[in-house]
Amino acid sequence: MKTPNILLTRIDNRLVHGQVGMTWTNTLGANLVLVANDEVSVDSIQQNLMEMVLPEGVQARFFTLEKTIRIIGKAAPHQKILLVVKTPQDVLTLVEGGVPIKEVNVGNLHFVEGKKQISPTVSVDDNDIATFNNLNALGVKLEVRGIPNERGFELMSLLKNG
């Protein structure tokens, strides 16, 4: 399998929104935003909303996790990919499926009942913590950062101090 040119993998509950669409794609120089999410892969309304916030010339693809695993290796070298998923569990599924993810930007995990807030934008429950520990054990670097010009924080140290 060829190694796809994944510039960044981002976890964000909201997937692609204004901030991600513009700021991250421009900063990274991404020309393809790949949203790996089973629900959105079949929801044209959400897809249209996400495509609207992308800069001119940036393409979007909406694949299931399974399809992402199956075809990301076929990406052309000129495709500079920003891979966006909703949960840490999605990242683990992709990594275990063979997607070569070395680094993850943990952008946004909303607070809901039963989760513990570890940064202004990231809240985790026991399942999330176990998943992040798994990813860390697999050698994936995990950084909490909302936007590119913010200082990032190493997620595992936030979990230890949380």
All structural domains of the chain, each given as residue ranges with its CATH number in brackets, are 6-161 (3.40.35.10)
pLDDT of residue 1: 55
Catalytic choice (13, 14, 17, 31)? 17
Strand, coil or helix: 136: helix
Dist CA 93 CA 77 (whole Å) = 23
Task: Quick: pLDDT tens for 83-110.
Answer: 999 999 999 999 999 999 999 999 999 9
Active site residue 110: no
* Cβ atoms < 10 Å from Cβ of 48: 10
The answer to whether residues 103 and 8 touch, using CB atoms and an 8 Å cutoff, is yes
Q: Which of 113, 111, 110, 122 is nearest to 157 (CA)?
A: 122
Is residue 162's pLDDT more than 90?
no
